[in-house]
Amino acid sequence: MPSITRPAALVRQGSLRLYATSVTVRELRLPGFYQINKLDPDGQGPGFQRLLNQGRAKKLADYLLDGHTEGDAFLPTSLFLATTQDIPFDTKTNSITFDVKQVGPFNVVDGQHRIAGLVAAAEKNPELLDFEIPVNIAVCLDDVSQMCHFLIVNTTQRSVDQAVEQQIVARLSAMVDLEDMPTIPRWIRRQVEKGEDARALVVANYLNTDANSPWLSKIRMANDESADATINQKSFVNSLKKYVFSANNPLADATFNETRPKMLSNYWKAIVELLVDTESPKSSVIFKTTGVDLFHISSATVFLYLANKRDFRKDTIKSVLSRGFGNLSGENIGMSSPEWWQRGGIASGLNSSAVRKLANALSQAINVQDGAGEISL
């Protein structure tokens, strides 16, 4: 494969060194020129890219084909490619020369939809093989830095699926010391420092994959297109972060990092046994955001009792919840019945304010003391 020589401008941004240049679609299509490392649904592996939106790529391809016919195809936005290797810069000719076999494949940090649209358009009209696209090529950029730059581009310029963002932030928390991380926006750094995404994803992954979990395959993880899921990772993880990892919840304590997934699995097993119709579990709102938020809010009260007794068994949790349901009064009594939680019923129409009120009512009912002044289990 012959070397590629392109005119380029060397751009330095702190420790980041990149070349502003261009490539043709013909060069993009060279074997091994680029790769798109997609984030795996389980959060493992080196990838960080979201799933390709085929409709978006096709729309761009159609535009390019139409525009080329009229002589005004226009695509000025630069691709962002990265390589862990170095590419020398010729100061005399202001150009770069590289062998794809040696520095490639380039990782696509930003621009996978543009590339897909360009390649698809060129397959239909070979004249587009000579179409040039602006590109910024970052050199000597390690994998962790590439993930950081993906987050920077996609959280400061355009939205990215929050589930993908959660996975990347969690991976960064586990992979590197903050001192080794490139400069990133402060809100991302705070997420990495707190480590809540990482801890919440450990719980979500456990509940979604453990064979005995009531949540088995019910959480749609990032880049997962499972049709059986009832809630997406973003909503489940956000609920954990907001309510389970809150300051008033014993489960937020770091001493439970190892046992927290199993403890929450027991908690949800107890809830399901009490409130989910075994003949039609998929129709229960328990497995939707409404149910998740309500019982994650209530978990602070439940686990306070459990922590005091150091007893986190499913049957003990079931006794605490049963006591609470038994002490409910008025319009709140309905939520102790599986029928109340069926899709299309009252639970389906609850807003966030109503969910919080019901969760507080359940917590107060759990806190009702008997004559001895202590909870009866």
Task: Tell me if 274 is assigned to some domain.
Answer: yes
Amino acid of residue 188: I
Q: How many CB atoms lie within 10 A of CB 356?
A: 15
Task: Tell me if 304 is assigned to some domain.
Answer: yes
Task: Tell me if 189 is assigned to some domain.
Answer: no
Task: Tell me if 180 is assigned to some domain.
Answer: no
Are 142 and 214 within one domain? no
Cα(325)–Cα(213) distance, rounded to whole angstroms?
23
Q: Is the dihedral of CA 353, 357, 360, 362 positive or negative?
A: negative
Are 345 and 210 within one domain? yes
Low-confidence ranges of the chain (pLDDT < 50): 39-41, 46-49, 183, 185, 371-377
Are 251 and 113 within one domain? no
Are 115 and 253 within one domain? no
- What local confidence, expressed as pLDDT, does residue 104 receive? 81
Which of 98, 126, 158 lies at the terminal end of a domain, its last residue? Answer: 158
Task: Tell me if 196 is assigned to some domain.
Answer: no
Are 148 and 239 within one domain? no
Are 133 and 216 within one domain? no
Task: Tell me if 313 is assigned to some domain.
Answer: yes
Q: Which long-range contacts (CB under 8 A, 24 or more apart) does 364-371 make?
A: 365/323, 365/324, 365/325, 365/326, 365/327, 365/328, 365/329, 365/332, 366/298, 366/301, 366/302, 366/305, 366/320, 366/321, 366/323, 366/324, 366/327, 367/301, 368/327
Task: Tell me if 319 is assigned to some domain.
Answer: yes
- The full DSSP string for 228-297 is S-SEEHHHHHHHIIIIISSTT-GGGSGGGTTTHHHHHHHHHHHHHHHH--TT-GGGBGGGSHHHHHHHHH
3-state SS assignment for residue 42: coil
Amino acid of residue 53: N
Helix and strand counts by DSSP (H, E) for the chain: 13, 11
Half-sphere exposure of 215 (CA within 13 A, CB side): 29
By residue count, the chain amounts to 377
Token pair listed for 280: 């039609």
Are 144 and 227 within one domain? no
Number of domains present in the structure of the chain: 2
Are 151 and 278 within one domain? no
Are 136 and 13 within one domain? yes
Cα(85)–Cα(221) distance, rounded to whole angstroms?
32
Containing structural domain, residue 115: 4-158
**What is the tens place of the pLDDT at every residue in 301-310?**
999 989 888 8
Are 154 and 206 within one domain? no
Distances (CA, A) of 161 to 151, 235, 356: 11, 11, 26
Which of 158, 187, 218 lies at the terminal end of a domain, its last residue? Answer: 158
Which of 143, 158, 173 lies at the terminal end of a domain, its last residue? Answer: 158
Rg (CA), the chain: 26
Are 216 and 271 within one domain? yes
- What local confidence, expressed as pLDDT, does residue 184 receive? 52
Are 230 and 147 within one domain? no
Task: Tell me if 176 is assigned to some domain.
Answer: no
